[in-house]
Amino acid sequence: MLFRGMAAVPVLASLLIMVTSSGFAAHNVRAAENVPIDQVFSTTDSLVTVSDAAADAKECLDGLCWKPQTFAVECRRPKRKLIDAIVRFPSAKPVGIPQNDTVNVEWYAATTPDGKICTAPAMIVVHESGSGMTVGRLVARGLRDRGMHAFMVQLPFYGSRRPRGIDVDDQNFGVVMEQAIADVRRARDAIAVLPGVDSDRIHLQGTSLGGFVAATTAGLDDAFHNVFILLAGGDLPKLVATGQRETAELKVLLEQQGFVGERMLALLNRFEPNRLAHRISEDRLWLFTASFDTTVPPIHADSLAKAAGLASDHHIRMPATHYSGVIFLPIVLDQIAEKSGGRTMVTQ
């Protein structure tokens, strides 16, 4: 299911090996020496009081936004190698499950040659639907190797946020999606107070499921400098009605939860990216689409591009499927880094 995470696709594992061995630097596995482990910072939501002349957009914003609050941000030592710290803060939209309602963000820190964190632009990374968050972590490490601080947000009920004995498929999908959007937006303010983060250059990237979350989050307000959407788009009701693989399974799950027909359409419309796409600055939004994608067909990226008024040179099309597109990831990350203040790595 979309929030449970799909079984591994065999071709994906082999493609990830190919990508990792071509176009990615081998990052030093030691943690950065001056990451603020066990330190606590205080910050406040910068979410502005949102409004929109379009009644439909205003209705969408009213359902997704929350009253800004002051909250604590703490850094903890990670259990996994290659991660420099775990950044934790309370969810802006808790669902009543304490373990899930503490957001965990994996920090892949930009460092100097001698292994100390340095001042650099930052990227919030929103992972795909796979339970291992493999592509999200690959993106984060790739951007870290390109001179950027990368922060991968573990979405609700993923990673350390998934409690034992609780089936995510029993949770209300709409509530969980709204929490995911709020968590990603709040992550921007959480990382802005961390040492080494250039708070004037905080960007947003999302892949597949994460791309839909990122696209809607970007429409809340003008919080992110640049936004990069990979293998995602808009028109969620049509996608769930006609899509294959993950989206087909999501449809079955929603029907089992009683969301059928107009009720399903109303649910998906609550966080539909196209309702807010006009609020994203078109010169700071880029889409990366797989031309032969059947999981998220290109028509959905085209739909988001149209809603955002996106110029054609901001919509990059790859001759790939939803899964084989990973072979283009080094080139995509080079383009993202170049536009975001990082450095490129792939030999031209």
- What CATH number has the domain bearing residue 86? 3.40.50.1820
Tokens at 126, concatenated:
């929103």
Among the residue ranges 11-25, 164-178, 255-269, the one predicted with the least confidence is 11-25
Residue 309, in any domain of the structure: yes
Q: Where are the beta strands (DSSP E) in 277-323?
A: 285-290, 315-318
Residue 81, in any domain of the structure: yes
Tokens at 162, concatenated:
């998934």
Residue 214, in any domain of the structure: yes
- pLDDT class of 30 with cuts at 50, 70, 90: low
Structural domain range at position 313: 10-340
Residue 347, in any domain of the structure: no
The residue with greater pLDDT, 257 or 193, is 193
Residue 31: per-residue pLDDT: 61
Helices (H), the chain: 10-20, 55-64, 134-144, 173-192, 209-218, 236-242, 246-256, 262-269, 298-308, 329-340
pLDDT in tens, 192-211: 999 999 999 999 999 999 99
Residue 82, in any domain of the structure: yes
Q: What percent of the chain has pLDDT over 90?
A: 75
What's the sign of the alpha-carbon dihedral 294, 299, 303, 306?
A: positive
- pLDDT class of 26 with cuts at 50, 70, 90: very low
Residue 5, in any domain of the structure: no
Residue 3, in any domain of the structure: no
Q: How many domains does the chain have?
A: 1
- pLDDT class of 241 with cuts at 50, 70, 90: confident
Residue 345, in any domain of the structure: no
Residue 242: per-residue pLDDT: 84
Tokens at 252, concatenated:
């079955």
